[in-house]
Chain A
Amino acid sequence: MTRGWTEHSGRALELAMENVDTDQIIPARFMSTPRSEGYAKYLFHDLRRDADGALLSTFPLNDHADATILITQRNFGTGSSREAAVYALADAGFRVIIAPSFGDIFAGNAVNNGVLPATVNEADIDALTASMAGQNADLIVSLETLTISCNSVRVPFALSDTWSLKLKNGWDDIDLTLQHTPEIQRFKEARREERPWAWPDVAR
């Protein structure tokens, strides 16, 4: 269960790479870790550390540990469905990811953990990063107005109503769905009646 929010303000960090897949966000070898142990230390593990595990000064995250907003390029979060990628970002403090496009499953996973995948076109991303240039400015992200502002620049982002509602309310889908239990039961019974073949033949 995540907490809902309507406005977030925080430092942004730019990761100027496209197609950052979930294997980059968190390599597969860390995914057996229980969530309670925290996933922050695995975020971008192989991008930000050398082979001996030492932090690379060249990787942007390594000197902006206070960032809560990530600005990146097209198709962020492509690849595997691992929700661990979102755990790593969320545990490291990120609340908002700004990109021109996202991997589908990643974006859904993000929303389920209270992290906003804000779809912003490339020109607007350039305007945002230009307005941040060289300054320690905060970005303000609003789920009410669906805009991101920095200094005098204000750009819109796309987000479906469904996801906006979930983020604002911090909804847990299971509770919501359980309210539909009678409807689900009726659907199941009708389906079973009409389409017995849709149930596995376990009497083999």
Chain B
Amino acid sequence: MNRANTLLDKLWETHEVHRRADGASLLWVDRHLVHEGSHHAFAKISERGAPVAEPGLTFAVVDHYAPTRRAARLPDPDIVRMIETLRTNAATHGLKIFDLDDPDQGIVHVVGPEQGLTLPGLLINCGDSHTSTHGAFGTLAFGVGATEVAHILATQTIWQRKPKAMRITIDGALGLGVSAKDIALNWIAKLGTGGAQGHCVEYAGSTVRNLSMEGRMTLCNLTIEGGGRMGLVAPDETTFAYVKDRPFAPRGSAWDAAIAEWAALHSDENAQFDKDITLSGDDIAPTATWGTSPEQALPISANLPDDKTAATIEALDYMGLKPGAPLAGTQIDQAFIGSCTNGRIEDLREAAAVLAGRKARVPGLVSPGSARVKTQAEQEGLDTVFKDAGLDWVSSGCSMCVGMNGDLVDPGKRCASSTNRNFKGRQGRGARTHLMSPAMVAAACVTGTITDVRPFLAGRTP
């Protein structure tokens, strides 16, 4: 190659089976992750009598409808049916399933990386928009709809037009209490929900290099909220250390070959990006959303907008907020910590650092991103911190991120949430969602209001 290539170019090239005259590429899919919501796609292939092309590369996870109180609540028949349907489809096609009682069960985008199914240099698809999460490993990963899920099941390939390349470079040191969630909400607020439309976003710069894999996953996860279908971080030592010895990760000589290839997975020095953005990590403050779109986010010290645009008026009205009032001090009714955005061990540690020895003034739910995260948190005693603070410690699943399992926010109630979408009704009809980092949710629990987490971290280390 004499041309300077982006990481996207390199990943695209190694997966392109065929390119059609109209510019669409047929790409090889290394891992296909399915969940209860994939029932439409299974129905489509069974209508055609088509088998799953590569059962060994297809993995099923129970997460979207997973009851988080496994024993206590007898879930409604609809939920039982959804989970049963996935079990039947997995059994019919011989797929490995991470079922409810599996010690490795969890949210699909937590389980993939945790199991070593997610590796640098792969292409991963899943019928869920936050598949972008896996891009944190230098993996081409994007969400697809049901027709495409059926196509991948039947052919292990996907037709896709190559997106444009965008780079967001973040340099500088993040302040105390500032995390990947704050970086993401900041750039989305700045560029809007269409800011990365049609682009694959590569995150670069010293701030990103210094993020843990958990932080990088949060960043890539939220790329979709800024309009980008894929996020990427070039793999490095942090990535390799995370992947090594995971259950499905390569071993022995395969590992050595992998590392050699992964080391070249970065954008070349002079690679051209269609859009190039820089942010200063030092300038980012703890952030929360105030409206019904992820772009409606503000630093904690700000006042709510009082412009007269229809979008602002409507959002403030739905959220029950006064134009121009301070964001900090907004009373909340409840809290949620979890989801594929912020349900990993580091997220729980950060929240626990704020809550240790303190009481929550509002009820809240803590749902670890996977059963493994749950076990690890319990070994570290984090569950005791949450329970002592008065929060509910439950099993893993998508839970209150989307409410499909019945974990819902009641109409008109305000929830501080570590999730990814503050859309109207996302957490339940009429629910009011404020997105923020797990540490910010923890601080909101302590005061019962949206509040600056920084004073609560003085003298504490997560």
User: Which residues in chain B, 364-412, are within 8 Å of chain A measured between CB atoms?
Assistant: 402-404, 411
- Does B81 touch A at the CB level, under 8 Å? yes
In the complex, A74 Cα to B192 Cα: how many Å? 11
- Does A37 touch B at the CB level, under 8 Å? no
In the complex, A19 Cα to B78 Cα: how many Å? 30
Q: A195 touching B261 by the CB < 8 A rule?
A: yes
- Does B190 touch A at the CB level, under 8 Å? no
- Does B141 touch A at the CB level, under 8 Å? no
Q: B145 touching A109 by the CB < 8 A rule?
A: yes
Q: B147 touching A113 by the CB < 8 A rule?
A: yes
When each residue 119-161 of chain B gets 1 if its CB lies under 8 Å from chain A and 0 otherwise, what string results? 1011000011100000000000001111110110011110101
Q: Closest CB of chain B to A161's CB: distance in Å? A: 4
Q: B127 touching A81 by the CB < 8 A rule?
A: yes
Q: A24-B423, A196-B257 are in contact. Are A105 and B143 (CB under 8 A)?
A: yes
Q: Which residue of B lies closest to A31 (CB)?
A: B37
Stretch at the interface among A56-64, A146-154, A172-180: A172-180
Stretch at the interface among A3-11, A132-140, A181-189: A181-189
- Does B251 touch A at the CB level, under 8 Å? yes
- Does B338 touch A at the CB level, under 8 Å? no
Q: A173-B151, A197-B255 are in contact. Are A83 and B119 (CB under 8 A)?
A: no
In the complex, A9 Cα to B350 Cα: how many Å? 56
In the complex, A160 Cα to B156 Cα: how many Å? 24
Q: A198 touching B122 by the CB < 8 A rule?
A: yes
Q: Closest CB of chain A to B133's CB: distance in Å? A: 13
Q: Which residue of B lies closest to A16 (CB)?
A: B310
Q: Which of A24, A109, A113, A191 contacts B28 (CB 8 A)?
A: A191
Q: A34 touching B43 by the CB < 8 A rule?
A: yes
- Does A23 touch B at the CB level, under 8 Å? yes
Q: Closest CB of chain A to B126's CB: distance in Å? A: 9
Q: B159 touching A19 by the CB < 8 A rule?
A: no
Q: Closest CB of chain A to B190's CB: distance in Å? A: 16
Q: Which of A28, A35, A160 contacts B161 (CB 8 A)?
A: A160
- Does A18 touch B at the CB level, under 8 Å? yes
Q: B403 touching A201 by the CB < 8 A rule?
A: no
List of 9 A-B pairs having minimum Cβ-Cβ separation, nearest first: A109-B145, A197-B258, A112-B147, A197-B250, A83-B146, A83-B145, A161-B22, A200-B248, A197-B254
Q: B421 touching A23 by the CB < 8 A rule?
A: yes
In the complex, A24 Cα to B157 Cα: how many Å? 31
Q: Which of B159, B198, B311 contacts A177 (CB 8 A)?
A: B159
Q: Which of A23, A79, A174, A201 contacts B249 (CB 8 A)?
A: A201
Q: B194 touching A74 by the CB < 8 A rule?
A: yes
Q: A24-B425, A74-B194, A109-B146 are in contact. List 11 more A-B contacts (CB 8 A).
A: A19-B193, A23-B421, A81-B144, A83-B40, A84-B40, A101-B197, A112-B148, A184-B28, A196-B254, A199-B56, A204-B247
Q: List 25 A-B contacts (CB under 8 A).
A: A19-B292, A19-B295, A24-B424, A27-B425, A28-B404, A32-B65, A32-B78, A51-B411, A74-B194, A79-B129, A83-B146, A101-B194, A109-B145, A109-B146, A162-B22, A162-B159, A174-B50, A174-B150, A184-B26, A195-B257, A196-B254, A200-B31, A200-B116, A201-B254, A204-B248
Q: B81 touching A32 by the CB < 8 A rule?
A: yes
Q: B147 touching A109 by the CB < 8 A rule?
A: yes
Q: B17 touching A79 by the CB < 8 A rule?
A: no
Interface centre among A84, A160, A200 (most CB of B within 10 A): A200
Q: Which residues of A lie under 8 Å from residue B459 when comparing CB positions?
A: none
Q: A198 touching B121 by the CB < 8 A rule?
A: yes
- Does A12 touch B at the CB level, under 8 Å? no
When each residue 105-128 of chain A gets 1 if its CB lies under 8 Å from chain B and 0 otherwise, what string results? 110110011000000000000000
Q: Which residues of A lie under 8 Å from residue B264 when comparing CB positions?
A: none
Q: A81 touching B143 by the CB < 8 A rule?
A: yes
- Does A72 touch B at the CB level, under 8 Å? no
Q: Closest CB of chain A to B56's CB: distance in Å? A: 7
- Does A91 touch B at the CB level, under 8 Å? no
Q: Which residue of B lies closest to A21 (CB)?
A: B423
Q: B154 touching A174 by the CB < 8 A rule?
A: yes
Q: Which residue of A lies closest to B30 (CB)?
A: A198
- Does B325 touch A at the CB level, under 8 Å? no
In the complex, A18 Cα to B296 Cα: how many Å? 13
Q: A24-B423, A105-B144, A112-B148 are in contact. Are A160 and B22 (CB under 8 A)?
A: yes
Q: B145 touching A173 by the CB < 8 A rule?
A: no
Q: Which residue of B lies closest to A35 (CB)?
A: B40
